Amino acid sequence: MAKILVMSLGGSLIAPDNLDLNFLKKFRRLMLDYVKKGNRVILVCGGGNTSRNYQKTAKIINPKISSTDLDWIGIAATKINAELVSGIFGQKAMESILGDPSKPVKTTRPIIVGAGFKPGSSSDKDAVLAAKTFGAKTVINLSNITYVYDKDPKKFKDAKPQEKMNWPAFLKVVGTKWIPGAHVPFDPVASRLAKKWQMKLVVMKGSDLVNLKRFLSTKTFRGTVIS
């Protein structure tokens, strides 16, 4: 049965420092194989280190810069990443980058690429909004961690990786407030929305494409499922 899949594609996967050509080539091949089976994919790109580097520079020069202005800088970084990702899929991707993720679009192409939309949250929220708009009940967050821990492993030596979590436990980990450029498993604003709409969130290490392929094939995979 054909599926529509929504992925929040971390910018640190697209360009950890420089553009990751090897990852992008393999990711492209995997997504094309997936849509060849009749499935559709919505890829919402994050800003990653590109965003953080620009935001850091802005804060050094103007320590009083507002969170809104920092978010606009981050959104610009997500858009350049999205244009790249859309471009590598050519005619398989929708003709333009998804603008407002809360509004449906008409396209016969199987891949839709989106970016950040408005200040006040990260592109994770846009992935959740897109999932609601296009009728997907699951959002996959491709990040730089294999599992979500029950508490910050950098602060607590007894932190344990979790294969399954409920939303209240997950919200304790990510907090309630969005901070531009924050390192969290998933945006707190997006998390609250996903909980409200009774969605499932899957967090996994995006660079492990063998593991992602196992997930796409409904096989056992490594990652944390929040529901």
The pTM of the whole model exceeds 0.75: yes
Predicted local confidence at residue 155, as pLDDT:
85
User: Cα dihedral angle (216, 218, 224, 227), rounded to 10 degrees?
Assistant: 110
Contacts of 58 (CB under 8 A, 6+ apart): 65, 69, 70, 73
Mean pLDDT by 10 residues, the chain (227 residues): 87 89 97 96 94 95 96 94 97 95 94 93 92 96 92 87 96 85 84 96 96 96 97
**Per-residue DSSP letters for 179-226?**
-TT---SS-HHHHHHHHHTT-EEEEEETT-HHHHHHHHTT----SEEE
Count of structural domains within the chain: 1
3-state secondary structure at position 162:
strand
Residue 139 forms beta bridges with which residues?
6, 201
Predicted local confidence at residue 42, as pLDDT:
97
Q: Are 19 and 153 in contact (CB under 8 A)?
A: no
Predicted local confidence at residue 181, as pLDDT:
66
CB-CB neighbours of 212 under 10 Å: 24
Contacts of 171 (CB under 8 A, 6+ apart): 188, 191, 192, 195
Residue 93 is classified by DSSP as B
**Domain CATH for 170:** 3.40.1160.10
Give 160-199 pLDDT, tens digit per residue: 999 999 999 999 999 888 887 677 889 999 999 999 999 9
Residue 24 is classified by DSSP as H
Q: Which domain holds residue 110?
A: 4-226
